Amino acid sequence: MTILVIAEHDNKELKVATLNTVAAANEIGGDVEILVAGSECADVANQASKIPGIQKVLLADKPAYANFLSENMGSLVSEIASGYSHILSPATANGKNFLPRVAATLDVAQVSDISAIVNADTFERPIYAGNCIATVQSTDAIKVITIRTTGFDACPATGGSASIENIEIDNDLGISSFIKEEIAVSDRPELTAADIVISGGRGMQSGDNFSLLNGIADKLGAAIGASRAAVDSGFVPNDMQVGQTGKIVAPDLYIAVGISGAIQHLAGMKDSKVIVAINKDEDAPIFQVADYGLVADLFDALPELESKL
Amino acid sequence: MKVLVPIKRVVDYNVKVRAKSDETGPDLNNVKMAINPFCEIAIEEAVRLKESGVAEEVIAVSVGSSASQEQLRTCLALGADRAILVETDEDAEPLGVAKALKAIVDKEQPGLIILGKQAIDGDSNQTGQMLGALLNYPQGTFASKVEITGESVEVIREIDGGLQTVLLKLPAIVTTDLRLNEPRYASLPNIMKAKKKPLDTFSAAELNIDLAPRLKTLKVSPPPERAAGIIVESVDELVDKLRNEAKVIS
């Protein structure tokens, strides 16, 4: 049984999501290989080769994969898929984008966003915004799976020395092209990788008021998130959204400020270790999942909290 | 250009679904059903393309039980010209749905297919991408802006950390994210008019589609409960608890 893990990276650095995914692969058991597909990404392959317990790293270094276009990525992975028992990718924007193309090409079902492994063909995954956990068994020969990274602790990044093998498959389907990317530059940790997350909701009342979270985030080394209501209201961009249809986070500490606690939001953060809710409405559903609730006007509480940290 | 909009009937997004006590599935008795919110955004985008003269016809399609006619009628009231139901009592998985949609695409030859990025029941986020692979069409998933330019479509995508712009050759697939548009409400006159618009039904057998599930659901259980927390009286008490009880800040 050999498992293929598709690495998440930006052509320079291997992302932690890859380590969560390798951890899931190790839990399934069997040999684990990693595919690094990208352009001028040899450094990433070197980093991947240092993950302990990896059999080998496959490096597909071609311009066609530079921006991880789903059409080219899907075609590449489908072509090398035979022989693997499982193909795993983190459930990141990239993984969600290309992996279903692989599953459909192989004529197998995909098991999306698994949060736990029961055995080699049976997995747990949240459905209905995490209000139910389904245990599903795959009957397909190749199991194509995306991994909910918060469900698996990252494996070590160093200590191994796997060999790197170049693969020369150059699949540019020519039906899509990359124009540009606008990535928000921030000194703060990434939302999905941060130990502490502070999020604002509709109660923040405006995008400007999100600056009230900045000082606290700086003092705690926290990432800043938002509820869907705050995104829908146009306060902040969608990449800050935590929830069923946004990012799934499970930090050590999650501070929800002015967030009522809609089902969709809870789906994205209720696996956090400690949850704090600050809301002036004492009946807000967020208090039902909070370890510590503070019923207060956030415009008073936030400056005070910042001053006391 | 024809625009095809696949949609799904799902539990209304305000309903908190619970697992049945015998863990055989979600308890969907007497719950309110609705069109999947992302599908509503897809219909809106297609109707706007028609209103701006880019699209000539908007066709809504659904793969599901006969009850899905209700959501297809909603699409007709929102501005779709006609609707197609691929009727099945099977709880079809994304791969099966994508195969059924491919059969409809082969018949209708749309220039653009717009669908929701995920259904809020199964939360799979697969169907559009799978349809793309089966048709060998390019895809712009998680779209926040869609612009047709000649033989291509430019799509701005919501990705981790920001936005990505891609250019896709038509025919192409777009899956919708939240910020693409704000769907309209159906007006009463349009709801009345929708009753007269054509709605064709095919069976999966007529289309030669195998919708048999590949995944066996062994059980559906409630998520682990969180222990009840406490209400603190002040910011001081909160900081003290976080420092000395939870030990999550220093």
- Flag if B19 and A132 touch (Cβ within 8 Å): yes
Rounded Cα distance, A209 and A235, in Å: 9
Q: Distance of CA B237 to CAs A47, A216, A258, B199, B244, Å?
A: 44, 17, 19, 62, 10
Please count the other Cβ atoms lying within 10 Å of the Cβ belonging to residue B185.
Answer: 8
Rounded Cα distance, B225 and B82, in Å: 45
The pLDDT of residue B179 is 87
A255: left (phi over 0), alpha (psi -120 to 50) or beta: beta
Report the gap between the CA of B82 and the closest CA in chain A (Å): 28
Given A239, A241, A292, which is nearest B230 (Cβ)? A292
Q: State chain A's maximal CA–CA distance in angstroms.
A: 60
Nearest-CA neighbor of B57 among B152, B201, B204, B198? B198
Q: Distance of CA B180 to CAs A29, A163, A259, Å?
A: 41, 44, 23
The pLDDT of residue A302 is 97
Q: Mean pLDDT for each 10-residue chunk of chain B (250 residues)?
A: 98 94 95 97 98 97 97 98 96 97 98 97 97 98 96 96 95 95 95 97 94 96 87 96 92
Burial A262-277 (b: 16+ CB within 10 A, else e): bbbbbbbbbbbebbbb
Residues 6+ apart with CB under 8 A from B129: A70, A74, A96, A97, A98, A99, A100, A101, A104, B139, B141, B173, B175
Would you state the structure tokens that stand for residue A24, as one six-digit string?
């899931």
Given A103, A174, A182, which is nearest B162 (Cβ)? A182
* Structure letter (DSSP) for residue A14: B
Report the gap between the CA of A163 and the closest CA in chain B (Å): 30
Would you state the structure tokens that stand for residue A240, as one six-digit string?
């800050």
* A108 touches B at CB < 8 Å: yes
The pLDDT of residue B95 is 98
Given B134, B142, B223, which is nearest A131 (Cβ)? B223
Distance of CA B191 to the CA centre of its chain: 21
* A140 touches B at CB < 8 Å: yes
The pLDDT of residue A238 is 87
Residues in chain B with CB shorter than 8 Å from the CB of A296 are 235
Q: Give the range among A4-18, A63-77, A135-149, B221-235 with minimum mean pLDDT.
A: B221-235
* Axis crossing angle, helix B94-108 with helix A93-106, rounded to the nearest 10: 70
Please count the other Cβ atoms lying within 10 Å of the Cβ belonging to residue B20.
Answer: 16
Peptide bond connecting B171 to the previous residue in cis, omega within 30 degrees of 0: yes
Please count the other Cβ atoms lying within 10 Å of the Cβ belonging to residue B33.
Answer: 15
A132-142 average pLDDT score = 96
Given A113, A287, A301, which is nearest B123 (Cβ)? A113
- Flag if B226 and A275 touch (Cβ within 8 Å): yes
> Over pLDDT 90: what percentage of chain A?
93
The pLDDT of residue A183 is 87
pLDDT in tens, A225-241: 999 999 989 999 888 99
- Flag if B235 and A93 touch (Cβ within 8 Å): no
Rounded Cα distance, A142 and A157, in Å: 27
- Flag if B17 and A113 touch (Cβ within 8 Å): no
- Flag if B178 and A245 touch (Cβ within 8 Å): yes
* A18 touches B at CB < 8 Å: no
- Flag if A241 and B178 touch (Cβ within 8 Å): yes
ipTM of the complex model: 0.95
Rounded Cα distance, B106 and B17, in Å: 36
- Flag if A134 and B220 touch (Cβ within 8 Å): yes
For residue B215, give the chain A residue with the closest CA. A138
For residue B163, give the chain A residue with the closest CA. A182
A230-256 average pLDDT score = 92
Q: State chain B's maximal CA–CA distance in angstroms.
A: 68
The pLDDT of residue B161 is 83
* A132 touches B at CB < 8 Å: yes
pLDDT in tens, B86-103: 999 999 999 999 999 999
Residues 6+ apart with CB under 8 A from A238: A231, A246, B144, B158, B177, B178, B179
Element (H, E) at A230: helix A228-232
The pLDDT of residue B231 is 95
β-strand pairing of B152-159 with B162-169: antiparallel
* A272 touches B at CB < 8 Å: no
Given B121, B158, B167, which is nearest A238 (Cβ)? B158
The pLDDT of residue A119 is 97
The pLDDT of residue A134 is 98
pLDDT in tens, A175-193: 999 999 998 778 889 898 8
Residues in chain B with CB shorter than 8 Å from the CB of A183 are 161-162
Interface contacts (A, B; CB < 8 Å): 265
Q: Number of helices (H) and strands (E) in chain A: give both, helices first.
A: 8, 16
Q: Residue B216: beta bridge partners?
A: A137
A283-303 average pLDDT score = 96
- Flag if A104 and B131 touch (Cβ within 8 Å): yes
Burial A90-101 (b: 16+ CB within 10 A, else e): bbbbbbbbbbbb
Sign of the alpha-carbon dihedral angle for A132, A135, A139, A143: positive
A282-291 average pLDDT score = 95
Residues in chain B with CB shorter than 8 Å from the CB of A181 are 159, 162-165
Distance of CA A121 to the CA centre of its chain: 22
Mean pLDDT of chain B: 96
The pLDDT of residue A184 is 79
pLDDT in tens, B192-221: 999 999 999 999 999 999 999 999 999 999
Rounded Cα distance, B14 and A276, in Å: 24
Rounded to two decimals, what is the model's pTM? Answer: 0.93
- Flag if B223 and A270 touch (Cβ within 8 Å): yes
pLDDT in tens, A29-53: 999 999 999 999 999 999 999 999 9
* A53 touches B at CB < 8 Å: no
